[in-house]
Chains A and B, each alone.
Chain A
């Protein structure tokens, strides 16, 4: 049985008990899923930023988004706040269709169940509808509602950004 002193030491220890769980480093995710991809930057014009903010339902910081591109596929590493902390996810999109979703870094104190493959596999082949909804229902996780919402927003955002990059390429 752990003594009271040991508990106190544990609870007050300044030692960094990392609250974030790193499931995979972003660079490893890119290497594993889109090896050799070219880093690109998408500058966010006012109309695109408006679309993004309507989609994620909050102000979107920054004026550009970095992504990686290869053979028509785009890879996005995006942050979205669940309840109070950002969740970092990697999303691969192939011509407007989700190919892969993985939670890379989770920082919330609860709701980490969203990283499980049983949950993220629901997004495979998902497409963004014209009203910015997904073309399918995503079964949630009790007690992780806000983390699930954050993942939904990330996937929809990746699909929207992929669409913008393809439209930009076609314009040129």
Chain B
């Protein structure tokens, strides 16, 4: 019995010891497995991050590839659109300029004195510019004009070289011109492209008094001398008029065509451009003998002009005064010792396309005596800009002329362009 008991006790003890050891082993296995699971989870997280990063990279690469394709297409398009030019072509294209302007006029006027109609269709001006830059500071500029379409003996028109000069920038904002250039007086003499002014015909004051378009040969300095201020100073060939033309200024233009050069002229101008849209300008010219020493009864001549050109938003205003004083008994005897005129022109620009204007002009080429020799003229009209550089014009003119002179009233229609 005792032996049996001992065996049983030993068996139970041995079994308990074995169970404990098994438990320890199982716990050890579980811990190892947990570590493996933790490790795998970490690996999974890392893998997920890598996958996400890869996905972003793939997306970015796709975006970059798309953009690269677009850029390649742009570059290809750009390269394909390049014209095939030789080096000489490129050099010429980059340093030479070409431009021009022109205007076709239809004048439907009636002489109020005789009742005669004067209906005319006229390609008034066809002008080509050509310029060339020798370098950044030295350039050539020219303007060749055909007036009234047909030139030659007995024909109504003329071929005129209105500008042909060399210009040199001798300092910043300072230039010197040598050659044939437009005289720096008035509003229209230097800037007269049709889209830049109202009215089919140029105003009669600048035409008959200044006289626009007026060019001479010589030397001219121009530039800026203070904030908003500009100057012009020129020494050039002069007018040549005489008693046969009643000393009329316009008749004295020699157009630098084998021009008499016995008497030269000097011209100066000052302009203030300090406020956007506003120009105030004054010019003076002196010539010691306006008859080029052909008429002992005539002598020196002074021209004074002043103008304002103002545009603020839709409103525009141009006003000009010009006066010539001619010395000598010859001009004085017929009243040509004073020749003057003025005009005022308010305008309204509705938008980029449409604008209207009114202009009142007075001028007199024989203002030095008491005879009735003064003209006046009203102009009312409209401009339509099909393009900033292409304009259609319509206006009505109402003229009041001295006794015995043509008094032309009626309609003017025109189309003009510049490029």
A44 CB-CB contact with B under 8 Å: yes
Q: Report A99-113 residues with CB < 8 Å from chain B CB.
A: 107, 109-110, 112-113
Least Cβ–Cβ distance between B110 and chain A, in angstroms: 36
Please, how many angstroms separate the alpha-carbon atoms of A45 and B215 in the complex? Answer: 49
Please, how many angstroms separate the alpha-carbon atoms of A57 and B400 in the complex? Answer: 45
B175 CB-CB contact with A under 8 Å: yes
**Closest residue of chain B to A140, judged by CB?**
B277
Please, how many angstroms separate the alpha-carbon atoms of A90 and B170 in the complex? Answer: 28
Indicate with 1 or 0, residue by residue over B69-87, a CB within 8 angstroms of chain A CB atoms: 0110111011000000000
From B73, B171, B276, A141 is in contact (CB under 8 Å) with B276
Least Cβ–Cβ distance between B417 and chain A, in angstroms: 15
Interfacial chain B residues near A10, Cβ < 8 Å: 170
Could you tell me if B271 and A143 are in contact, using CB atoms closer than 8 angstroms?
yes
Could you tell me if A143 and B74 are in contact, using CB atoms closer than 8 angstroms?
no
B385 CB-CB contact with A under 8 Å: no
Least Cβ–Cβ distance between A40 and chain B, in angstroms: 14
A19 CB-CB contact with B under 8 Å: yes
Could you tell me if B170 and A85 are in contact, using CB atoms closer than 8 angstroms?
no
From A63, A116, A139, A143, B230 is in contact (CB under 8 Å) with A143
A6 CB-CB contact with B under 8 Å: no
Question: With A85-B136, A119-B276, A139-B276 in contact, is A113–B172 under 8 Å at CB?
Answer: no
Interfacial chain A residues near B75, Cβ < 8 Å: 63
Could you tell me if B352 and A17 are in contact, using CB atoms closer than 8 angstroms?
no
Please, how many angstroms separate the alpha-carbon atoms of A63 and B223 in the complex? Answer: 37
Could you tell me if B169 and A11 are in contact, using CB atoms closer than 8 angstroms?
no
Could you tell me if B228 and A11 are in contact, using CB atoms closer than 8 angstroms?
no
Secondary structure at the B interface, as helix, strand, loop or mixed, is mixed
Please, how many angstroms separate the alpha-carbon atoms of A113 and B227 in the complex? Answer: 8
Please, how many angstroms separate the alpha-carbon atoms of A43 and B136 in the complex? Answer: 31
Could you tell me if A110 and B173 are in contact, using CB atoms closer than 8 angstroms?
yes
Interfacial chain B residues near A19, Cβ < 8 Å: 136-137, 169, 172
B311 CB-CB contact with A under 8 Å: yes
From B70, B139, B222, B227, A45 is in contact (CB under 8 Å) with B70
Please, how many angstroms separate the alpha-carbon atoms of A24 and B141 in the complex? Answer: 31
Least Cβ–Cβ distance between A45 and chain B, in angstroms: 6
Q: Report A45-75 residues with CB < 8 Å from chain B CB.
A: 45-46, 49, 63
Could you tell me if A43 and B352 are in contact, using CB atoms closer than 8 angstroms?
no
Question: With A45-B74, A143-B230 in contact, is A118–B275 under 8 Å at CB?
Answer: yes
Among the interface residues B136, B275, B276, B309, which one has the most CB atoms of the partner chain A within 10 A?
Answer: B276
Could you tell me if B169 and A139 are in contact, using CB atoms closer than 8 angstroms?
no
From A20, A49, A109, A142, B273 is in contact (CB under 8 Å) with A142
Interfacial chain A residues near B332, Cβ < 8 Å: none
Q: Report B51-68 residues with CB < 8 Å from chain A CB.
A: 67
**Closest residue of chain A to B172, judged by CB?**
A21
A39 CB-CB contact with B under 8 Å: no
Interfacial chain A residues near B133, Cβ < 8 Å: 84
Least Cβ–Cβ distance between B191 and chain A, in angstroms: 8
Could you tell me if B170 and A17 are in contact, using CB atoms closer than 8 angstroms?
yes
**Closest residue of chain A to B389, judged by CB?**
A57
Interfacial chain A residues near B191, Cβ < 8 Å: 142-143, 145
Among the interface residues B75, B97, B230, B352, which one has the most CB atoms of the partner chain A within 10 A?
Answer: B230
Least Cβ–Cβ distance between A17 and chain B, in angstroms: 5
Q: Report B161-185 residues with CB < 8 Å from chain A CB.
A: 167-173, 175-176
Least Cβ–Cβ distance between A132 and chain B, in angstroms: 12
**Closest residue of chain B to A57, judged by CB?**
B388
Interfacial chain A residues near B71, Cβ < 8 Å: 43, 63
A–B pairs, 29, beta carbons within 8 Å: A10-B170, A11-B176, A20-B172, A43-B74, A46-B73, A63-B75, A63-B78, A84-B97, A84-B139, A109-B173, A110-B223, A110-B230, A112-B224, A116-B228, A116-B274, A118-B276, A133-B352, A137-B313, A137-B314, A139-B278, A139-B311, A139-B313, A140-B277, A141-B273, A141-B277, A142-B273, A142-B279, A143-B230, A144-B273
Q: 16 extra interchain contacts, Cβ-Cβ under 8 A, other than A10-B170, A109-B169, A142-B271?
A: A11-B176, A18-B172, A20-B172, A21-B172, A46-B77, A63-B74, A107-B136, A109-B175, A110-B223, A113-B228, A119-B276, A139-B276, A140-B276, A140-B277, A142-B309, A143-B279
List residues of B whose CB falls within 8 A of some A CB: 67, 70-71, 73-75, 77-78, 97, 133, 136-137, 139, 167-173, 175-176, 191, 196, 222-224, 227-228, 230, 271, 273-279, 309, 311-314, 352
